[in-house]
Chain A
């Protein structure tokens, strides 16, 4: 299974390196949302700055669905996903490869958006390690649930609607935890150990659950 995951991960990374579709779509959308927040609300007040982490993750919750959609759209495009599903490999490996690829794309997007975020919301990064963990665990959380539901939604005629509809409610615990851990990393709260643990638990639970059910999603 790990071997398969590695092959699929490499393939998705390779495609992304060539097209940069997932990262650029998510990045542009996230920046757009952050900018719109700036216009809709006066984010230069101390109260708003305390909510900065919240704005960041809201932007990514939505932007993330774009890159997650792409993950399986590219499999459907010329039917390559069918050939993939018929290969003599463990479906869990296919899931793991795509999930890790999506996590990487989300993480990279967040890193690239970070400078702009810091400038727009005038925040400072108090704990770099915590920020990196927050982004990494959060991206993995979104990728775990998102990859599963992207695969499910790609079977339907309304995949752009169904992916966020299915994925966002289930991502609520991860979203709350991600916001709290990022706030902590920005020096705005004093402890977040519960939230880091919750995020970790969420990651483990959903990666495992998705690994187990993915074969059902993959059959035709």
Chain B
């Protein structure tokens, strides 16, 4: 019951925050001088990216806990985080080019951040595909957890490799330079958007967990029914 109440609270908060965020994006934040209105994708692109990486950090943490405890609930959490995470990552990869094309004339620039996100997407996909192709639930959980842990360890290495490589082969950067100053109205909007999308992440994550719990329940009931039927047939 408590979980339902939390879910409803998060949903309500999400609706409010997202509404405020969108209002701020379109009416409060100023239009950027160089890039024009297209720049506003930034307010969606950056929070999505932040959550994509948060999702993967969660997959790492849950995978680690699963290997330590072998409690199935950690596996369910890792799976849910991965599914929502890959969704957000896909959206980052879509909003990036949408932003890049009008501004720089090219769809993709292989800049450090976007490339890192692409690699992250590939690691997520590997994780999810592995889950799909392992038959036994226990093996699936263990093997996926190993990938979840080692994949995450790789991320900093990927980041450093790409960043150093990029300093040697520079390209335009999509999300704005590291130290580019933001108008205070822009940063305020950005923060509200980050909050809104993080809430969205957790709302979706919570829903996914619920679905998984229901599915597991249904399966357990079906197994019990079958076992009882087999017993009945025997006696």
Interface of A toward B, CB cutoff 8 Å: 145, 148-149, 152-153, 155-158, 161-162, 165-166, 168-170, 172-173, 176-177, 180, 194-195, 198, 201-202, 205-206, 209-210, 213, 216-217, 219-220
Interface of B toward A, CB cutoff 8 Å: 67, 119, 122-123, 125-126, 129-130, 133-135, 139, 142-143, 145-147, 149-151, 153-154, 157-158, 160-162, 164-165
Q: With the chains together, A176 CA to B143 CA distance in Å?
A: 27
A15 to chain B, nearest CB (A): 25
Q: With the chains together, A217 CA to B150 CA distance in Å?
A: 12
Please indicate the chain A residues that have their CB under 8 angstroms from the CB of B153 in the complex: 205-206, 209
Central interface residue in A169, A176, A180, A201, by most chain B CB within 10 Å: A169
Main secondary structure of the interface of B (DSSP, over half): helix
Closest Cβ neighbor of A208 among chain B residues: B153
Please indicate the chain A residues that have their CB under 8 angstroms from the CB of B146 in the complex: 148, 152, 213, 216-217
B12 to chain A, nearest CB (A): 38
A and B contact pairs by CB, cutoff 8 A, 21 listed: A152-B146, A155-B143, A157-B135, A158-B129, A162-B126, A166-B126, A166-B130, A166-B147, A169-B123, A170-B151, A170-B154, A172-B119, A172-B158, A172-B161, A205-B153, A209-B149, A213-B67, A213-B150, A217-B143, A217-B146, A220-B139
Q: With the chains together, A168 CA to B164 CA distance in Å?
A: 20
Contact in complex: B157, A148 (CB < 8 Å):
no
Partner of A173, one of B149, B150, B157: B157
Q: With the chains together, A172 CA to B115 CA distance in Å?
A: 11
What 6 A-B pairs are tightest by C-beta distance, nearest first? A173-B161, A169-B122, A156-B133, A173-B157, A166-B126, A170-B154
Q: With the chains together, A150 CA to B40 CA distance in Å?
A: 44
- Knowing that A176-B165, A216-B143 touch, tell me 17 more A-B residue pairs with CB under 8 angstroms: A148-B150, A165-B125, A166-B147, A172-B119, A172-B158, A172-B161, A173-B160, A173-B161, A176-B161, A194-B164, A198-B157, A198-B161, A202-B157, A206-B150, A206-B153, A209-B149, A217-B142
Closest Cβ neighbor of A199 among chain B residues: B161
Please indicate the chain B residues that have their CB under 8 angstroms from the CB of A220 in the complex: 139
Closest Cβ neighbor of A210 among chain B residues: B150
Q: Given that A162-B129, A202-B157 are known contacts, is A176 also in contact with B142, CB under 8 Å in the complex?
A: no
Q: With the chains together, A181 CA to B122 CA distance in Å?
A: 25
B84 to chain A, nearest CB (A): 19
Contact in complex: B130, A216 (CB < 8 Å):
no
Please indicate the chain A residues that have their CB under 8 angstroms from the CB of B67 in the complex: 213, 216
Contact in complex: B130, A162 (CB < 8 Å):
yes
A8 to chain B, nearest CB (A): 20
Q: With the chains together, A122 CA to B191 CA distance in Å?
A: 54
Q: With the chains together, A218 CA to B130 CA distance in Å?
A: 16
B162 to chain A, nearest CB (A): 7
Closest Cβ neighbor of A171 among chain B residues: B154
Q: With the chains together, A199 CA to B43 CA distance in Å?
A: 36
Please indicate the chain B residues that have their CB under 8 angstroms from the CB of A202 in the complex: 157
Closest Cβ neighbor of B144 among chain A residues: A152
B29 to chain A, nearest CB (A): 35
Contact in complex: A152, B157 (CB < 8 Å):
no
Please indicate the chain A residues that have their CB under 8 angstroms from the CB of B154 in the complex: 169-170, 172-173
Please indicate the chain A residues that have their CB under 8 angstroms from the CB of B165 in the complex: 176, 180
Partner of A176, one of B123, B151, B162: B162
Q: With the chains together, A166 CA to B154 CA distance in Å?
A: 12
